[in-house]
Chain A
Amino acid sequence: MAGITSYGAYIPWYRMKRSIIFEQLGWFNPGNAAVARGEKAVANHDEDSVTMAVAAALDCLGNAPRERIDGVYLASTSFPFAQRQNAVIVSQGLDLPRGVRTADFGGSTKAGTSALIAALDGAGDRRLMVCAGENRLAKPGSSQEHTYGDGAAAFLTGDENVIAEFKGSYSVSADFIDFRRSQEEQFSHGWEERWIRDEGYARIIPQAVTGLLDRCSLKISDFAKVVLACPAAGAMKGLMRAIGAAPEQVQDTMMDTIGDTGAALPLMMLAAALEEAGAGDRILVVGYGSGSDALWFEVTPAIEGFRTGGRKGIAGHLARRNNLSVYGKYLVFRNLIPLEVGIRGEEITPTAMSSLWRDGNAISALVGSRCRVCGTPQFPKERICVNPDCGAADDMEEYRFSDKRGTLASYTGDNLAFSWDPPQIYGLVDFEEGGRILLDLTDCSLDAVRVKMPVIMSFRRKYADPRRGYYGYFWKAVPAL
């Protein structure tokens, strides 16, 4: 039977103590003292829900054969593009074949669980990559500015080597307007938090849970873990009481370490639950927003061998971190204040969509070529071999660099180049199987960079052209940990 065959996660490098926000704007809204605890994960300036989904999907993918994946479902309420499918950016970033099914799931924070149900319900032998990434904007001074966090999770579904078997689901749909945002707007509008707590979390989620338990003839005590994507700490107690869950059953929402990752929250919590699950464990997963989805899994013995796969997952990504201690930097990263970027920063050459399409997977998946005569990998794709001792013409095969490791041959930190986080660090990356690319570095500080430092590739926003409604994605090097 179908189920989850792999999982992965991504948490951005930057973490910000919520007290830093409160120190800046607590004077305006003292009530935020209640949510000014712990820290939240903050996407870097070159990340969004799509790039984080790619990172989680790569973590999930490991060495699995990409040509055997049938599609990508992507869930978010913070898609970078309103028109241009976001899931297909992920699919091409993963260098999946063209003949795949791709779909965006959005509009509600239950989009993550809805995508998972869509992939698993009646799945047959279909193998899908289900991702959720979230990078939501909140107004400065709002409660959500404190609670929202950024991150992503990904699951591979299929019917071979299943680690968590999909057993069933139940969904409730309700036009309960706790938060809303029109197509034209940057920020959401919310209703009173006490109403959301009492009428939303505490009443709608139990309807989905009860519906599932009744449909499957189960009791809440049958579950080893209950994943309740309820980011409001104040609502959790009443919710647990309403569904009869004991504290030890309830999966940590990670609100103190990551924050409310919206559509990605139930999926990130499920990934964390799987990291600690044992064979035979039953896991209940509940997503919330415009209703509620409940679905359940039974962990199989395959989970034991799976854990040796070298994934970072939630635990690994939590350990990879850097403090973001300057509130102004957070505002700049989220483009929440006008910044004097200078004339150099204002210059953005238009992107030619025809050229982008022609370059195809060179840009989306860092695919170059490898010479069939001398074996040298090279980027960008070449027709004449760059190896000075070879020079063979038109004897190349495609070669993907995005999943290869490299080391830095040289680097600099450039204060003249325009960057949202100067200095702009870049360097020559020598790949372990050959080939060299001059690449920007990200998620690192200049002090920590060294010649010969090992790096891996990360899919990022390379530039933004807001006037023409475009984000250019490419690959950057990040330190391999």
Chain B
Amino acid sequence: MAQGIKNEVAIIGMGCTTFGELWDKSASDLMVDAFQEAIEDAGIEKKDIDAAWFGTCFDEVNVGKSALSLTKTLKLPFIPATRVENFCASGTESFRGACYAVASGACDIALALGVEKLKDTGYGGLPDFGNLLGSQNRAIFANLTAPGGFAMMATAYFDKYGLSPEEGKRALAHISSKSHHNGTLSPKAHLRNEVSIEKIMNAPIIAWPLGLFDCCGVSDGAACAIVCRANRATEFRKDPIYVKGLQIAVTSGEEMAHQKWDGTHVIPTYRAGCAAFKEAGITNPREEISMMEVHDCFSITELSTYEDLQISPRGKAVDDIEAGFFDLDGTIPCQTDGGLKCFGHPIGASGIRMIYEEYKQLQGKAGERQVENPRIGLTHNLGGFPCMSVVSVALFGNTL
């Protein structure tokens, strides 16, 4: 029976650019910035890297197809390199490729780099989903955008648990307000300002019932990780961070076409969480997780993720949110660096950016937003829509 990769892989170096509307930076600039920080952090040389995985989603608006742009930009010396794309889980997917390569023994040291240059479309929001589902897209798929796809989950959640729009939006506003606060303590974050619950609740509607501040930033950025086999990690640094679990779950399609799913949560998040907890040997996530970076593309996503990851009981996330359970000084601080909401969301980079935050927190290097004595950090990516998604859940620890 498969044992997973718990304690097989260590992160020995990471880099992350400032995220934001970086009009003066190209995707190549961002890749170089993230890579230089990571390789210096790891204390290795380029020739030590045996293989690379490259995560990017919207090739149409930034780097083009294949891993060519990674190897050409970084001048990687004819090593195996692979581009991966799995919606918003693309960054974590590239990290998984690197981890599996070293865990299998195929490589000693592997690189994962994620980048996205979104702000070259000429309009707000993500690039148009013209080809999201291939050629059938225009013909049969509803005319939806990311906020609308997630707003439907808020509608269903409010209906199922009897929340008025006012009650539901207030809980969601707490989530965004908390992330804005954390963003002020996060020097590389895209949005670094406090926003009040009242302002969030009264903001213009983007997709009912979600308003402007229920939506994350659309940003440019890159992040990079260098991994090696765990038993060699201390050759490179004294404080490596270990991969405890790393799982991806992709929909079977039943949410969209079968009535079993109630639309209030994300099945692949629950499934990927269960698999990652099993891999890591975690039996009580609410007690064992120190902090989390979840995929808060929209406030409702963060709310439902609390329940799908079994931190909050079904239908009870609102109680935890309003009790401050996920605030920076709460029991399980969530989005300590501001999250997608405020750190920003360059798709292909986001998964590795989350890992970067857990890495820094677990090393005790998170500055003003440092969580006290963390042991286990969790990252979560959700690509697609609640009704059709790709989800990754990863767990990290600072001891073997």
A415, B206: Cβ atoms closer than 8 Å: yes
CB distance from A9 to the nearest CB of B (A): 28
Report A's interface with B, CB cutoff 8 A. 342-344, 347-349, 351-352, 355-356, 359, 362-363, 376, 378-380, 382, 386-388, 409-419, 423-424, 426-428, 430, 434-440, 446, 451-452, 462-463, 472, 474
- Given that A349-B130, A413-B208 are known contacts, is A440 also in contact with B258, CB under 8 Å in the complex? no
- Given that A343-B122, A355-B136 are known contacts, is A415 also in contact with B205, CB under 8 Å in the complex? yes
B152, A412: Cβ atoms closer than 8 Å: yes
> With an 8 A cutoff between CB atoms, is B11 at the interface?
no
CB distance from B248 to the nearest CB of A (A): 19
A413, B207: Cβ atoms closer than 8 Å: yes
B136, A426: Cβ atoms closer than 8 Å: no
Give Cα distance in the complex from A351 to B151, angstroms.
28
Q: What number of A-B contacts does a CB cutoff of 8 Å give? A: 149
Q: Among the interface residues A386, A416, A472, which one has the most CB atoms of the partner chain B within 10 A? A: A416
Give Cα distance in the complex from A419 to B145, angstroms.
11
A462, B258: Cβ atoms closer than 8 Å: no
Which of chain A's residues has its CB closest to B215's CB?
A: A416
CB distance from B315 to the nearest CB of A (A): 16
Residues of A within 8 A of B121 (CB): 343
Give Cα distance in the complex from A139 to B183, angstroms.
55
Give Cα distance in the complex from A320 to B166, angstroms.
31
- Given that A347-B128, A439-B142 are known contacts, is A427 also in contact with B152, CB under 8 Å in the complex? yes
Give Cα distance in the complex from A411 to B153, angstroms.
8
CB distance from B121 to the nearest CB of A (A): 7
> With an 8 A cutoff between CB atoms, is B395 at the interface?
no
A409, B254: Cβ atoms closer than 8 Å: no
A410, B207: Cβ atoms closer than 8 Å: no
B152, A410: Cβ atoms closer than 8 Å: yes
CB distance from B375 to the nearest CB of A (A): 36
Given contacts A363-B139, A426-B144, 14 further A-B contacts (CB under 8 A): A349-B131, A351-B138, A376-B258, A410-B155, A413-B205, A423-B207, A426-B143, A428-B256, A436-B257, A436-B258, A446-B208, A451-B156, A463-B143, A472-B138
Residues of A within 8 A of B140 (CB): 359, 362-363, 380, 474
- Given that A351-B138, A438-B387 are known contacts, is A388 also in contact with B252, CB under 8 Å in the complex? yes
Give Cα distance in the complex from A382 to B143, angstroms.
22
Give Cα distance in the complex from A451 to B208, angstroms.
13
> With an 8 A cutoff between CB atoms, is B137 at the interface?
yes
Residues of B within 8 A of A380 (CB): 136, 140
CB distance from A356 to the nearest CB of B (A): 7
CB distance from B316 to the nearest CB of A (A): 20
Give Cα distance in the complex from A379 to B142, angstroms.
13
- Given that A409-B259, A419-B143, A426-B148 are known contacts, is A342 also in contact with B123, CB under 8 Å in the complex? yes
Find B207's partner among A409, A414, A436, A463 (CB 8 Å cutoff). A414
B151, A378: Cβ atoms closer than 8 Å: no
A412, B208: Cβ atoms closer than 8 Å: yes
Main SS at interface, chain A: mixed
- Number of B residues near A (Cβ < 8 Å) is 47
Residues of A within 8 A of B136 (CB): 355, 359, 380
> With an 8 A cutoff between CB atoms, is B135 at the interface?
yes
B232-291 contacts to A, CB under 8 A, are: 252-254, 256-260, 262-263
Give Cα distance in the complex from A438 to B148, angstroms.
12
CB distance from B152 to the nearest CB of A (A): 4
- Given that A362-B140, A410-B153 are known contacts, is A416 also in contact with B128, CB under 8 Å in the complex? no
> With an 8 A cutoff between CB atoms, is B159 at the interface?
yes
> With an 8 A cutoff between CB atoms, is B114 at the interface?
no
Residues of B within 8 A of A410 (CB): 152-153, 155-156, 159, 263
B263, A428: Cβ atoms closer than 8 Å: yes
A416, B152: Cβ atoms closer than 8 Å: no
CB distance from B165 to the nearest CB of A (A): 12
Give Cα distance in the complex from A435 to B257, angstroms.
6
Residues of A within 8 A of B23 (CB): none
Which of chain A's residues has its CB closest to B256's CB?
A: A438
Which of chain B's residues has its CB closest to A379's CB?
A: B257
Find B125's partner among A352, A376, A416, A462 (CB 8 Å cutoff). A416
> With an 8 A cutoff between CB atoms, is B78 at the interface?
no
> With an 8 A cutoff between CB atoms, is B168 at the interface?
no
Give Cα distance in the complex from A309 to B128, angstroms.
45
> With an 8 A cutoff between CB atoms, is B147 at the interface?
yes
Find A417's partner among B148, B153, B253, B259 (CB 8 Å cutoff). B148
Q: Among the interface residues B152, B154, B262, which one has the most CB atoms of the partner chain A within 10 A? A: B152
Which of chain A's residues has its CB closest to B210's CB?
A: A412
Find A411's partner among B139, B141, B147, B155 (CB 8 Å cutoff). B155
Residues of A within 8 A of B138 (CB): 348-349, 351, 462-463, 472
Give Cα distance in the complex from A196 to B39, angstroms.
85
CB distance from A71 to the nearest CB of B (A): 26
CB distance from B210 to the nearest CB of A (A): 8
CB distance from B386 to the nearest CB of A (A): 9
Residues of B within 8 A of A348 (CB): 130, 138
Give Cα distance in the complex from A355 to B134, angstroms.
11
Residues of A within 8 A of B152 (CB): 410-412, 426-428
B205, A428: Cβ atoms closer than 8 Å: no
Give Cα distance in the complex from A342 to B125, angstroms.
13
- Which 6 pairs across A and B sit closest by C-beta, in order of nearness? A414-B148, A412-B151, A410-B156, A426-B142, A349-B130, A451-B159
Which of chain B's residues has its CB closest to A408's CB?
A: B155
Residues of B within 8 A of A416 (CB): 124-125, 145-148, 206-207
B145, A414: Cβ atoms closer than 8 Å: yes
Give Cα distance in the complex from A430 to B255, angstroms.
11
Residues of A within 8 A of B205 (CB): 413, 415, 423
B142, A386: Cβ atoms closer than 8 Å: no
CB distance from A97 to the nearest CB of B (A): 23
Residues of A within 8 A of B210 (CB): 412
- Given that A376-B258, A388-B254, A437-B257 are known contacts, is A356 also in contact with B139, CB under 8 Å in the complex? yes
B142, A472: Cβ atoms closer than 8 Å: no
Residues of A within 8 A of B148 (CB): 412, 414, 416-417, 424, 426
Give Cα distance in the complex from A432 to B113, angstroms.
47
Supply 17 A–B pairs (Cβ within 8 Å), ascending by A.
A348-B130, A355-B135, A355-B136, A359-B140, A362-B140, A363-B140, A386-B254, A409-B262, A410-B152, A410-B155, A412-B151, A412-B209, A416-B145, A416-B207, A438-B141, A451-B155, A451-B156
